[in-house]
Amino acid sequence: MSLRIWPLTAALVLAPAVLSASQAQDNAEKAQAVSDQNGMYFDAEGNPTFKILDGGVVDWYTFSGYRRYHADCHVCHGPDGMGSTYAPPLIDSMKSIDYANFLAIVAEGIQDVGAGKESVMPGFGDNKNVYCYLDDLYIYLRARSVGGIPRGRPPKKADKPEAAKDHEDACMSG
């Protein structure tokens, strides 16, 4: 089940760590949508995921994630999650980060210091333009990481569900 109403305290309890190599990598089969709740799709484990509808139409949350990613994340992580000289490609990282760790990393940030190099991602837990859309970002990046959608703006999108409108209103005004 998705954390559409963002409980920031849950993210603060989670350790922002990448899954160990022994844990299964995400792939297109694992990311397949098996259920739908008010226009948001979920995989067999209950994690938010993407859905390509008839005619190549992407679900609303994938499209919204694309928009939010390119508003706040691409500056460091490059267009379409491809990485840059400044930050790693998220289409690679997402294959080994589960939903809970993704939420924690984005909310709290992460720091990697070693071999004379320091990599720091700031936390976005206090930025409503990011944390109100964490599911959308996760869904978009998941779709990109498993090859579910190509680079670039999705050409067709589903209409915005009422649940998305309600969540946005509640989160942005709260």
> Is 3's pLDDT higher than 60?
no
> Is 38's pLDDT higher than 70?
yes
Tell me the mean pLDDT in the region 54-83: 96
The CATH number of 8-173 is 1.10.760.10
Q: Which of 5-19, 61-75, 76-90 has the lowest mean pLDDT?
A: 5-19
Specify burial of residue 120 (Cβ count, 10 A radius: 0-12, 13-18, 19+): exposed
Name the residue among 152, 167, 154 with its Cα closest to residue 53.
154
Helix (H, G, I), strand (E, B) or coil at 57: strand
**Interval 91-145: pLDDT, tens:** 999 999 999 999 999 999 998 777 667 778 999 999 999 999 999 999 999 999 9
Mean pLDDT of the chain: 87
What is the pLDDT at residue 111? Answer: 87
**Interval 10-33: pLDDT, tens:** 333 333 333 343 346 899 999 999
User: Residue ranges of the alpha helices (H) in the chain?
Assistant: 8-13, 60-72, 74-77, 90-93, 99-108, 128-131, 134-145, 162-173
φ and ψ at residue 143, rounded to 5 degrees: -60, -45
What is the pLDDT at residue 41? Answer: 98
Residue ranges covered by each domain of the chain: 8-173
> Is 67's pLDDT higher than 70?
yes
Name the residue among 165, 142, 167 with its Cα closest to residue 66.
142
What is the pLDDT at residue 11? Answer: 36
Residue in the structure block whose two tokens are 């080994």: 96
CA dihedral 157, 163, 165, 169 (to 10 degrees): -150
What is the pLDDT at residue 24? Answer: 61
Is residue 135 within 8 A of residue 107, CB to CB? The reply is no
State CA 134 to chain mean position distance: 6
